[in-house]
Copies of this chain bind each other. A is one copy, B any other.
Amino acid sequence: MSQYPHATIRIELGPGKRLGPGKVRLLELVGSTGSISAAAREMAMSYRRAWLLIEELNEAFGKPVVQATAGGAGGGGTRVTPHGQSVIDAFRAIESESARLIADKLGQFPSLSVRAARDTR
């Protein structure tokens, strides 16, 4: 979303364990590229950072959100597990439904929406 103001949500899974748009986007990109390094590149982050974020998710949920795939000519890659996909789907479903509700409410607060829309610095 590039329109302002808009709301984003984070799901606090436990102390210090947070699921937000960044990790979900990373997971989606692992799914579409078949590679943690390609996903990291698309998000302009290091491979190491991407790997750590995915490890956080594995730990928070207690089972893997991605898994290695056996390679063909180009070596193996990484794919999203069915569990990882259900995490993505749940987050996106919650996000899209709450986005509608929050968008209505943002409109009720001109001091937020008007000032923010004008502020393009």
Contact = CB atoms under 8 A, between A and B. Distances in A.
A12 B7 contact: yes
Nearest to A59: B121
Contact of A93 (B5, B14, B105): B105
Interface in A1-23: 1, 4-14, 17
Given A7-B9, A61-B116, A101-B101, 13 more contacts: A4-B17, A5-B12, A6-B11, A8-B10, A9-B10, A11-B106, A14-B119, A59-B119, A61-B115, A62-B119, A86-B109, A90-B111, A98-B101
Interface of A: 1, 4-14, 17, 59-63, 83, 86-87, 90, 93-94, 97-98, 101-102, 105-106, 108-109, 111-112, 115-116, 118-121
